[in-house]
Amino acid sequence: MLDCAIIGGGPAGLSAALVLGRARRSVALFDEGKPRNRVALASHGFLTRDGASPAAMRKFAHDELAAYPSVRIRGSRVEDVAREADGSFRLTDAAGESWLASRLLLATGLKELLPEIEGLGDFYGRSLFCCAYCDGWELRDRPLVLVAGNDHTFHLAKTVYNWSRDLLVCTNGYKSLEPEEERVLRARGIRIDHREIERLVGADGQLTAVRFADGEEAACAGGFVAERLRQAAPFAERLGCALTQYGGIETDAAGRTSVPGVYAAGDAACIMPAQLIVAAAEGSRAAIGINEDMTHEAFA
Ligand SMILES: Cc1cc2nc3c(=O)[nH]c(=O)nc-3n(C[C@H](O)[C@H](O)[C@H](O)COP(=O)(O)OP(=O)(O)OC[C@H]3O[C@@H](n4cnc5c(N)ncnc54)[C@H](O)[C@@H]3O)c2cc1C
């Protein structure tokens, strides 16, 4: 019986594993290795690691965790989590192997649904991003395109305006701006185009233009896309954890979900702000919550 099973080896899960390993808890961390930012060449805003690649950050973490013998990292996908009669959790991975754990931490992150536009995948994570706090600095003062894909286009345009005043919002037929919102953006000189996008144009990851269905092109030197998000794993829902109005797993200040024994951390819980350093902090907080709860239980 493990003290804790962690599903997800992004900053939230890895940080929790470190704190629990240091607290001498037996931990298995399962990670299928598809973090949200895997397409990015560099990650920003994590103090002491600004500009490091996602792969390098992960390697730093794995190297540090190797010092803690009670932590095991398994590079496998968890397929199922079932509750046993004694309240423990049985995890089964893709190879059919199973483990029992007294506590479960969901650090499974989010999955993004990007607008289906030809060429978008060539630029996403290189010159087209989803978060101005992550990549706005690199795109500052450039002519940028904002591609609508959710209902927060107005918010994204206002936010990106802090980094560049040369903005073209392409709604691509997506009804994402109210007339009053459009008026406010246009009053700041932000251009708005409702034409259908045929494809994104550029080379070697650098976006240079948006081509509309009528053949016309609008030049740009990068941009942002408003994506839709959903939970990357089904376990919170399957176990009956309450969700927030934004679709995150509801937790208290110690990372406890509404289901006893189940904890959550990182993007899966927080949704916004989705930041590596926030996810890492949440993982640490949930690990302390888990260790405190186990300690109190042992002394009860
Ligand atoms: C393009 C892009 C660029 C970004 N750039 C930055 C940046 O520069 N700075 C910044 O602070 N933030 C950035 N972010 C946001 C950042 O990536 C997230 O906030 C952060 O990764 C969240 O960490 P997490 O641990 O919660 O989830 P993740 O990092 O997404 O990790 C979750 C892990 O759980 C695994 N998993 C899920 N389900 C299962 C399962 N069933 N079994 C096993 N494993 C599973 C996944 O494969 C994944 O490895 C960026 C996001 C994107 C999309």
pLDDT of residue 7: 98
- CB of 31 sitting under 6 A from ligand 1: yes
151 and 21 belong to one structural domain:
no
Check residue 150 and give its pLDDT: 84
Q: Given this model, what pLDDT does residue 173 score?
A: 87
> Same domain, yes or no, for 90 and 60?
yes
Which of 49, 50, 108, 229 has most ligand 1 atoms within 8 Å of CB, for mutation? 108
| Residue 233 structural domain | 2-111+228-299
Same domain (yes/no): 15, 80: yes
Last residue of a domain, one of 178, 208, 225: 225
Mark whether 62 and 144 lie in a shared domain. no
Query: What atom in ligand 1 is closest to the CA of residue 44?
Result: 8
Q: Closest residue (by CA) to atom 12 of ligand 1?
A: 275
Nearest atom (ligand 1) to Cα of 280: 25
Q: How far is the CA of 64 from the centre of ligand 1 (A)?
A: 19
Residue 285, domain CATH:
3.50.50.60
pLDDT for position 253: 96
Give the distance (Å) from ligand 1 centre to CA of residue 109: 5
* Residue 8 sits in the same domain as residue 105: yes
Separation of 186 CA from ligand 1 center, angstroms? 34
- Statement to judge: residues 206 and 294 lie in one domain: no
Residues 78 and 128 in one domain: no
Distance of CA 105 to the CA centre of its chain: 16
- The closest residue, in CA terms, to atom 20 on ligand 1 is 276
The arrangement of strands across the sheet holding 223-225 comes to 128-129, 223-225, 144-147, 167-170, 191-193
pLDDT at 111: 95
Among 208, 225, 242, identify where a domain stops. 225
Tell me the CA–centroid distance for residue 174 and ligand 1, in Å: 27
- The verdict on 96 and 125 lying in the same domain is no
Mark whether 124 and 181 lie in a shared domain. yes
Q: Is 255 in the pocket of ligand 1 (CB under 6 A)?
A: no
174 and 212 share one domain:
yes
Q: Is 249 in the pocket of ligand 1 (CB under 6 A)?
A: no
Vertex 232, ends 229 and 238: CA angle to 5°? 115
Task: Specify the pTM.
Answer: 0.96
- 199 and 244 in a common domain: no
As beta bridge partners, residue 192 has 169
CA of 133 to the centre of ligand 1 (A): 15
Any ligand 1 atom below 6 A from CB of 202? no
Query: Are both 251 and 193 inside the same structural domain?
Result: no
Ligand 1 center to 56 CA (angstroms) = 14
Measure the CA–CA gap between 297 and 300, rounded to whole angstroms.
5
Q: Using the 3D structure, point to which of 225, 245, 278 is the last residue of a domain.
A: 225
Q: State the distance from the centre of ligand 1 to the C-alpha of 102, rounded, in angstroms.
A: 25
219 alpha carbon – ligand 1 mean position (Å): 31
What type of residue sits at position 58? R
- The per-residue pLDDT string of the chain (300 residues; one tens digit each, 9 = 90 and over) reads 999 999 999 999 999 999 999 999 999 999 999 999 999 999 999 999 999 999 999 999 999 999 999 999 999 999 999 999 999 999 999 999 999 999 999 999 999 999 999 999 999 999 999 999 999 999 999 999 999 988 889 999 999 999 999 999 999 988 889 999 999 999 999 999 999 999 999 999 999 999 999 999 999 999 999 999 999 999 999 999 999 999 999 999 999 999 999 999 999 999 889 999 999 999 999 999 999 999 999 999
* 29 CB near ligand 1 (under 6 Å): no
Give the residue whose CA is nearest to atom 53 of ligand 1: 37
Question: What is the tally of structural domains in the chain?
Answer: 2
Is residue 36 within 6 Å of ligand 1 at its C-beta?
yes
